[in-house]
Amino acid sequence: MFFIQLARTVQSCSRSQPSATAFLPRFFSVSSVAEAGYKMKSHSGAKKRWRSLASGSDFKRGKACHSHLNASKNAARKNRLSTTAYSTSAQSHKLKKLLLPYGSN
């Protein structure tokens, strides 16, 4: 049925216009990822920094500036930098899009 309508559209375009190929209707694919032939990429910077929790709804990461040049930092600062940082709800929403574009969570 679809191809018959397409053929009729092409015929009507070719009758009214001299060049039928210039006025063909464009059909956009709404198929699955496997049929489309491309996939979204995960954000590699976020992938290296963040880890998903077991619940799948939140993420955690280590804090920066803890691994070097520690002689000039006081003990309280070094202890604070050694703790785990957890994502906020706004960050979790963005991280799901960056890290899990095809995830079910």
List the chain pLDDT tens, one digit each, 105 residues. Answer: 666 666 666 666 555 555 555 555 655 555 566 676 777 888 888 888 999 888 878 899 999 999 999 999 999 999 999 999 999 999 998 888 888 776 544
**pLDDT value of position 105:** 45
27, part of any domain: no
Q: 18 lies in a domain?
A: no
Give the pLDDT confidence score for residue 76 in this predicted structure. 96
Q: Is residue 38 part of a domain?
A: no
Report, in angstroms and rounded to the nearest whole number, the Rg of the chain calculated over CA atoms: 26
What is the number of structural domains in the chain?
1
pLDDT of residue 104: 42
Using a cut of 0.75, tell me whether the model's pTM lies above it: no
The answer to whether residue 41 sits within a structural domain is no
End-to-end alpha carbon distance in the chain: 38
